[in-house]
């Protein structure tokens, strides 16, 4: 993230949630669901990133990811030339990942319940930063020990085109436009669907600046 994290965030209130769109049998986009939480959420996010700043990770295949990553919670996701995995320790700082803040946890739990997944207990929050041109290739979230819990994904900042596919990489994908405050929840029969993000277009968001921040909550342990 260029410059101090706080410089890219402002406390600006936007419109209220607009509704729920079904994109799979047990998959939903909650339009604008996170907007009422943004003012409380951003200070907690700043504090997390002050402890564990964004970093560019390298995949086992030697590819440097275009999205920068950090994590918070009991477990954090990491990758290097050896494997993809969850760890209790931030490998950059050799200290535990920051705790999952209360507002972030509450948002994730309530969004999951709104999509039909009661009792969600996230123990990991992956924080991805996309600058223009950054993307995420099609992949499955399968490093978790149990697939009964859903994935809850919160979009902040610049718009993104989310790719939501099937259970095989070759399956046709649908393109879903995501905007600031949108939350995607998928689980159940859809839990292992392939998904990704197309390259982010140039832009400047009024609240988040020239970037998209994605918060992905999971039950990893």
pLDDT digits (tens, 9 = 90+) for 157-171: 999 999 999 999 999
The yes-or-no verdict on residue 25 having pLDDT over 50 is: yes
Q: Would you state the structure tokens that stand for residue 84, as one six-digit string?
A: 């993809």
Q: Where are the domains of the chain?
A: 34-218
Largest alpha-carbon pair distance within the chain? Answer: 44
As a whole number, mean pLDDT of residues 113-141 equals: 97
Q: Does residue 62 contact residue 81 with C-beta atoms inside 8 Å? A: yes
The stretch 69-84 carries a mean pLDDT of 95
Phi/psi class of residue 32: alpha, beta or left (left: φ > 0; alpha: ψ in -120 to 50)?
A: left
- pLDDT higher than threshold 60 for residue 3: no
116: left (phi over 0), alpha (psi -120 to 50) or beta: left
pLDDT value, residue 128: 98
CB neighbours of 171 closer than 8 A, spacing ≥ 6? 165, 194
- Confidence tier at 18 by pLDDT (50, 70, 90): low
For the chain, how are helix, strand and coil distributed in percent, rounded to 5?
A: 15, 35, 50
**% of the chain beyond a pLDDT of 70:** 92
| Cβ atoms within 10 Å of 192's Cβ, excluding its own | 15
Helices of type H across the chain? 38-51, 102-114
- The band of 124, judged by pLDDT with boundaries at 50, 70 and 90, is very high
Rounded to the nearest 5°, which phi and psi values hold at 75?
Answer: -130, 145
The pLDDT of 134-151, averaged and rounded, is 95
**Which residues are 183's β-sheet partners?**
30, 154
Sequence-distant (≥ 6) Cβ neighbours of residue 119 within 8 angstroms: none
Note the pTM of the prediction, 2 decimals: 0.91
Query: For 29-158, where are the alpha helices, taking DSSP H only?
Result: 38-51, 102-114
User: pLDDT band at residue 54, thresholds of 50, 70 and 90?
Assistant: very high
Assign domain 34-218 to its CATH superfamily: Alpha-ketoglutarate-dependent dioxygenase AlkB-like (2.60.120.590)
């Amino acid at each position: 993230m260029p410059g101090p994290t706080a410089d890219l965030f402002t406390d600006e209130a936007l419109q209220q949630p607009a509704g729920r769109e079904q994109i799979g049998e047990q998959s939903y986009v909650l339009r604008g669901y996170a907007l009422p939480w943004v003012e409380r959420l951003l200070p907690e996010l700043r504090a997390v990133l002050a402890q564990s700043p964004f970093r560019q990770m390298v995949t086992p295949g030697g590819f440097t990811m275009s999205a920068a990553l950090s994590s918070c919670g009991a477990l954090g996701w990491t990758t290097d030339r050896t494997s993809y995995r969850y760890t209790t320790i931030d490998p950059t700082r050799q200290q535990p990942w920051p705790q999952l803040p209360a507002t972030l946890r509450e948002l994730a739990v309530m969004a999951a319940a709104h999509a039909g997944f009661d009792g969600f207990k996230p123990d990991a929050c992956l924080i991805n930063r996309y600058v223009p041109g950054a993307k995420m290739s099609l992949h499955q979230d399968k490093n978790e020990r149990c697939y009964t819990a859903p994935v809850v994904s919160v979009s902040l900042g610049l718009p993104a085109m989310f790719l939501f596919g099937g259970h095989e990489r070759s399956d046709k994908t649908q393109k879903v436009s995501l905007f600031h405050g949108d939350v995607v929840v998928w689980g159940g029969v859809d839990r292992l669907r392939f998904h990704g993000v197309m390259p982010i277009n140039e832009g400047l968001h009024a609240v988040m600046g020239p970037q998209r921040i994605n918060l992905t909550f999971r039950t990893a342990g």
